[in-house]
Structure 1
Amino acid sequence: MEESKKEKLVVLIGPTAVGKTKLSIELAKKLNAEIISGDSMQIYKGMDIGTAKITRDEMEGIPHHLIDIKEPNESFSVVEFQEVVRKLITEIHKRGKLPMIVGGTGLYIQSVIYDYQFTNEASDSDYRKLLEQQVAERGIETLFQELKEIDPNSAERIHPNNVRRVIRALEIFKTTGKTMTEYMEGQKHELLYDLVLIGLTMDRELLYDRINKRVDLMVETGLLDEVSAFYSRGLRNCQSIQAIGYKELYSYLDGKLSLDEAINDLKQNTRRYAKRQLTWFRNKMDVKWFDMSMENEFDEKFNEIYKYIAGKLEI
């Protein structure tokens, strides 16, 4: 595809609590953009405080997509994300707007912008049936443990109860000798869009301090009530409840931790997640980074980022 024929796309990434939401709204206003959430947990209805979901007021009239599209007991995969987002990008262009993906789930974003094929070419139906029979007889735990040993990256992304995806990851390993992660990374990294990929970063200690304060604010504004509502509905073995902020408070509600211990775990797990996000983005994607450490220089930083995008996309 010729460069000039590719659809224009802006992607704004960065770790949790770095300030993506505020910047994305200001950019969308100036760029006449619509925002697509690139967060794998903000898709769930009712998971508002724990995922730091943008509020209607914060949107300031900017259209947002892929927020509140799933019930908490439903699963959502990178394949589904890729399919939905690529359609959205085309639809937004047809409206004469610029699509902008904003979020922190690296693999999801990567699956959209590069020519990743989630095909069935690496398949072995006999082996798949064997694994399905094993699950029926003995449960998923043994298979998930096997996946953790051969492909810890996939095991971290896939919920232990998502039988189809656990089996698929093991099937890929059996047929190709590569883990699902290696299989994807071995594919062509051809960019499908006329892309501007920008990332926000921040001094590590300042970011961690912002994360800790954000968690305190979440607790003050009702996170425990939000999680308790899911808990009382009996939601447990589903993808959504594995989200940071929910699993820690479930441990408190189960009586395994005190509330203070659960909140400390939540802060620590969020800091670790932010560190993993930064590592992923730096290792896997060609990002133009902007440092947001000087919070009193937002306007200056915004102008710098806007000029960079406008220059790259020639708008």
Structure 2
Amino acid sequence: MVRLSESQRASRPLVLLVGPTAVGKSEIGLRLAQALETDLLTADSRQVYRGMDIATDKPTPEQRQGVPHRLIDLVDPDESFNAGQYRRLARQEIERLYGEGRLPLIVGGTGLYVRTLIHGLCDAPRADHSYRESLLQEARAKGGYFLHRELTRVDPESAVRLHPHDEVKIVRALEVYHLSGQRLSDVQRQHRLAEQEFSVLLIGLNRDRAQLYRRIDERVESMFARGVVEETERLLADGYGRELGAMKGLGYQQVAGYLAGEYDRAEALRLLKRDTRHFAKRQLTWFRKEPGLRWYELTEQDRSEDVAGRLLEMIRSFVQDLAPRRPEGLPYPSLTMEQESTA
């Protein structure tokens, strides 16, 4: 158990456990939360959606009974949700835990959520909805890869990081360039140099690529065995169409194509394995650019309880070494609703 003293709370410690999908974050994070006697705060842009459980690998009811999981099941699949909203809700949970003398633990693989929480929101222009609509109309006329090709032309670094189907983030990157003349990748790089609100211990989990890909294949096969096809059928029947951003996520996109008769079940399985491996590669590329991240390489022989034990010692040392970063009682600035809406 780790309880924060008054001086340690003044340093605003924050522990984050990140890494690619299927690396083992959830099980190790669960054991860490149990040992720390704290809640597990999730940083996953897909687990925020209600009713999307299997393809997002959401924690089971049994796991949630053992350790409270926060920041999941926040909105319906047809509701919008962004990094600014995530940051606001995450900071509320973090402040609650500080008030209880407990150490906040963030676990997840959505790099944008992690970066926004640590560094705050970029000083980027507000949304221009008319420009967004014109981009989407042009994309419908010129084909699905038009937006990604445009982003490659003006901001190749962001284009490499974003999947061609990630329409929301691609449009935002093009919008930033259109309105400010700056590449979003440059804006984000400059922003990362700003002072952090928290004292951060950022731990990244990784595995040998062949081992990670094998675990991804096993997870995908498990999703099909546990009913991801039936889950997708239910979502479609409830009126959540394939055009929604939530339904374009891994699992639902590939299964929806199978249900539409575009290919057979075996091909859906193959596509999901392939696309998940590509996603894991993009996650690793993102986190490798995160300053101060401490990598922990996992092997086949590592048991989650042993890894959690070693990480717990790292966390205890981190907390013990903390010194107050600013006078107690001096608040950090809060986000305004206007700033949140631009994330």
TM (norm. structure 2) is 0.80
Report if the CA contact (8 A) 2:48-2:71 is conserved. yes
How many correspondences in the alignment? 305
2:293 counterpart residue number: 287
Say which SS state the counterpart of residue 206 (structure 1) adopts: helix
Report if the CA contact (8 A) 2:55-2:250 is conserved. yes
1:217/1:135 Cα in 2 relative to 1: closer, same or farther (>3 Å)? closer
Instruction: Please show how residues 132-151 of structure 1 align to structure 2 within 5 Å.
Output: 134=134, 138=137, 141=140, 144=147, 146-147=150-151, 149-151=153-155
Aligned-pair CA distance for 1:155: 5.9
* 1:250 equivalent in alignment to 2:256: yes
Aligned-pair CA distance for 1:154: 7.7
Q: Distance in 2 between matches of 1:52 and 1:227?
A: 14
User: What one-letter code is carried by the residue in structure 2 that aligns with 1:101?
Assistant: I
1:177 counterpart residue number: 181
Report if the CA contact (8 A) 1:147-1:169 is conserved. yes
Say which SS state the counterpart of residue 302 (structure 1) adopts: helix
User: What one-letter code is carried by the residue in structure 2 that aligns with 1:34?
Assistant: D
Q: Distance in 2 between matches of 1:96 and 1:220?
A: 42
Q: Distance in 1 between matches of 2:65 and 2:133?
A: 52
2:32 counterpart residue number: 27
1:286/1:63 Cα in 2 relative to 1: closer, same or farther (>3 Å)? same
Aligned-pair CA distance for 1:177: 1.9
Report if the CA contact (8 A) 1:154-1:181 is conserved. no
1:298/1:83 Cα in 2 relative to 1: closer, same or farther (>3 Å)? closer
1:217 counterpart residue number: 222
Q: Distance in 2 between matches of 1:178 and 1:291?
A: 36
User: What one-letter code is carried by the residue in structure 2 that aligns with 1:57?
Assistant: E
1:131 counterpart residue number: 131
Aligned-pair CA distance for 1:68: 0.8
Aligned-pair CA distance for 1:197: 0.8
Residue-by-residue CA offset, 1:273-306 (whole Å, 9 max, x unaligned): 1111112111234211112213454443222111
Structure 1 unaligned regions, length at least 5: none
1:158/1:77 Cα in 2 relative to 1: closer, same or farther (>3 Å)? farther
Q: Which has the higher contact order (CA 8 A, sep 6+)?
A: 2
User: What one-letter code is carried by the residue in structure 2 that aligns with 1:131?
Assistant: Y
Aligned-pair CA distance for 1:5: 2.9
Q: Distance in 2 between matches of 1:157 and 1:268?
A: 15
Q: Distance in 2 between matches of 1:46 and 1:4?
A: 36
Report if the CA contact (8 A) 2:123-2:187 is conserved. no
1:132/1:4 Cα in 2 relative to 1: closer, same or farther (>3 Å)? closer
User: What one-letter code is carried by the residue in structure 2 that aligns with 1:273?
Assistant: F
2:283 counterpart residue number: 277
Aligned-pair CA distance for 1:3: 9.1
Say which SS state the counterpart of residue 33 (structure 1) adopts: coil
Report if the CA contact (8 A) 2:254-2:272 is conserved. yes
Aligned-pair CA distance for 1:175: 3.7
Structure 2 unaligned regions, length at least 5: 1-6, 322-343
Report if the CA contact (8 A) 2:161-2:285 is conserved. no
1:230 counterpart residue number: 235
1:226/1:263 Cα in 2 relative to 1: closer, same or farther (>3 Å)? same
Aligned-pair CA distance for 1:210: 0.9
Q: Distance in 2 between matches of 1:157 and 1:254?
A: 21
CA root-mean-square deviation = 2.8
Report if the CA contact (8 A) 2:28-2:305 is conserved. no
* 1:186 equivalent in alignment to 2:190: yes
